Amino acid sequence: MAATPGMFGGTCGGDAPECVVVIGGGVIGLASALRLRLAGMDCLVIDPMRDGEGASWGNAGHIAIEQVSPLASWSTVRSLPRRWFGRGGPVDVPRPWAVSPWLWRFLHACAPARHASGQTALRGLLGDAVPAWRQLLQEIGQPGLLREQGHWVVWEQADAERRGRAAWLGGDIGEARVDHMDADTLAAVQARLSVPLRAGLCFAGSAQVLDTARLMRALRQALLDAGGRWLRAEVAGLRDVGGRAQVLLDGSRTLDPDRLVIAAGPGSRRLMADLGEDAPLIEERGYHLQWRDHDWPDLPPVVFEDRSVILTRFDGGLRLAGFVEFVPPGLAPDVRKWQRLRAHAVALGLPVRGEPDAWCGARPTLPDYLPAIGRSRAAANVCYAFGHQHLGLTLAATTADRVLALLADPGEPADVSPFGLQRFAG
Ligand SMILES: Cc1cc2nc3c(=O)[nH]c(=O)nc-3n(C[C@H](O)[C@H](O)[C@H](O)COP(=O)(O)OP(=O)(O)OC[C@H]3O[C@@H](n4cnc5c(N)ncnc54)[C@H](O)[C@@H]3O)c2cc1C
């Protein structure tokens, strides 16, 4: 790799024969970089982000292996009227004209045949998700960051219960298992709430991370301890030079990496466009409130399905998360969503005290709700891993294994073929 001498320290950017640059230090880029480094590759992550800012820090912490059915489906479309923000639901499209090309492609991706093949592909990825996390965290000596205790779904209203039971008991939930919630378990949830619950389901096989912030810090520290590098900078763009990508850091600095992994979440769209490739990502924003001071017991994550919110007890506090807001880049957060989350917390009677931290961040989402994992058709040294929508935390470790396979194997690993960006060509 040609680079400014001494820019990174260590081997990356020095005399080493090959260096992999990973653009993006969210959970996808970081897990991938760590997996590559543990396999012996020189690795440099480039990211300007401060701790706590991206979706990888603000998510609900749920390893959601049950979400096998891609959200691009006619059943999602049919549910939209009752899930609309204006009617008390989680879905909002505040600038419809600005996101209409993406919505059009989403509708196309809902076609039953495309949904079915997407489901097969997603089932394969999700099937490896927990073992891959277990393995990665074992290797860095942090197995306790993964809590394999399933998750729970509860209902307040008969309608929601009927719909929820039909969907979860009759649907494909991959390697997860589900059972009716017994009276003692329901009472354990009910005990800390003021709203009456009707019933619930208990999922096994799913998991949570102990704390998203601790996970991100542990992955980064493990990368650095293993000899990987981290450069706090923003990639201004990519340049195609004879079928290979160069990295432009700012006006004066250019990197010419042997291998490049684009894992920049929502920012990947612009970088792929520099190479002439279409990555139709949208920012699908979510919100959370987190209280440090609370009396919520040590229970698995609880989904309050009537309200479309998930409550997760982390090491650092109790987090209530929700909303799917399709927005163009740069739109200011909508304070009404935090107000709505607060109203849910009050209505549920959550045992919390003090002012919560309020957070908003974007899921990187492609129209068919499958991630993009593959090799660039335009630049011979580029692979990509982004677009993990609601499942980026869940899929990070298994994606990292596939990124390693892409870099280590000059052929096309069979299990990434459904995730290539060529599916959007034309
Ligand atoms: C409210 C909410 C709850 C969620 N809950 C869950 C959950 O329970 N389970 C689950 O599996 N998933 C969940 N998700 C989804 C999950 O958080 C995302 O899919 C995941 O974080 C995406 O990770 P990422 O690394 O691709 O992107 P990001 O976390 O966005 O990271 C991308 C990184 O790339 C960097 N970057 C961008 N452009 C550039 C550039 N030009 N140069 C250098 N760096 C750049 C950014 O600074 C950023 O750090 C949730 C999301 C939200 C919003």
Q: Is 46 helix (H, G, I), strand (E, B) or coil?
A: strand
Task: Tell me the C-alpha distance between 192 and 297, whole Å.
Answer: 8
How far apart are the CA of 26 and the centre of ligand 1, in A? 5
Ligand 1: atom nearest CA of 236 is 41
Task: Judge if 164 and 242 occupy the same domain.
Answer: no
- pLDDT number for residue 290: 98
Q: Is 98 within a domain?
A: yes
Expressed in angstroms and rounded, the spacing between residue 67 Cα and the centre of ligand 1 is 18
pLDDT tens series, the chain, 426 aa: 444 333 443 444 455 557 899 999 999 999 999 999 999 999 999 999 878 789 999 999 999 999 999 999 999 999 999 999 999 999 999 999 999 999 999 999 999 999 999 999 999 999 999 999 999 999 999 999 999 999 999 999 999 999 999 999 999 999 999 999 999 999 999 999 999 999 999 999 999 999 999 999 999 999 999 999 999 999 999 999 999 999 999 777 999 999 999 999 999 999 999 999 999 999 999 999 999 999 999 999 999 999 999 999 999 999 999 999 999 999 999 999 999 999 999 999 999 999 999 999 999 999 999 999 999 999 999 999 999 999 999 999 999 999 999 999 877 776 899 999 999 986
> Under DSSP, is residue 285 helix (H, G, I), strand (E, B) or coil?
strand
Atom 18, ligand 1: which residue's CA is nearest? Answer: 392
Say yes or no: 340 and 375 in one domain: no
pLDDT tens digit sequence for 181-199: 999 999 999 999 999 999 9
Residues 34 and 179 occupy one common structural domain: no
- Number of domains observed in the structure of the chain: 2
- Spatial contact of 396 and 31, defined as CB atoms under 8 Å apart: yes
Q: Does any domain span residue 306?
A: yes
C-alpha 190 to ligand 1 mean position (Å): 33
Closest ligand 1 atom, CA of 48? Answer: 47
Ligand 1, residue 388: give the atom nearest the CA.
Answer: 19
Tell me the residue range of the domain where 157 lies: 68-112+141-210+281-365
Q: How far apart are CA 129 and CA 63, in angstroms?
A: 8
Q: What share of the chain is helix, strand, coil (3-state, %, to 5)?
A: 40, 25, 35
Same domain membership, residue 48 and residue 37: yes
Domain end marker among 315, 349, 365: 365
Q: 281 and 365 in contact (C-beta within 8 Å)?
A: yes
Give the mutation target among 125, 388, 419 for probing the ligand 1 site: most ligand atoms within 8 A of CB.
388
Please report the sign of the dihedral spanned by the C-alpha atoms of residue 405, residue 410, residue 411, residue 412: positive
Domain CATH for 169 = 3.30.9.10
* pLDDT tens digits, one per residue of 384-424: 999 999 999 999 999 999 999 999 987 777 689 999 999 99
Same domain, 295 and 360: yes
The pTM of the full predicted model, rounded to 2 decimals, is 0.96
Rounded distance from Cα 255 to ligand 1 centre (Å): 24
Q: Which residues line ligand 1 (CB under 6 A)?
A: 23-29, 46-49, 54-56, 58-62, 64, 234-235, 263-267, 286, 288, 321, 361, 363-364, 386, 388-394
Cα–Cα distance between 355 and 8 in angstroms, integer? 41
Domain's final residue, options 343, 365, 387: 365
Are 159 and 272 found together in one domain?
Answer: no
Residue 79: both structure tokens together:
């549910």
Residues 269 and 286 in one domain: no
Ligand 1 atom closest to Cα of residue 270: 41
Ligand 1 mean position to 265 CA, how many Å?
A: 5
| 272 and 373 within one domain | yes
Same domain, 299 and 407: no
* pLDDT on residue 16: 56
Residue nearest to atom 47 of ligand 1 (CA): 49
Nearest to residue 333, comparing CAs of 115, 128, 34, 92? 92
Residues 147 and 198 in one domain: yes
Cα–Cα distance for residue pair 95/400, rounded to 1 Å: 34
Which of 23, 47, 325, 399 has most ligand 1 atoms within 8 Å of its beta carbon, as the pocket-test mutant?
47
- Is 260 contained in some domain? yes
Residue of minimum CA distance from atom 12 in ligand 1: 391
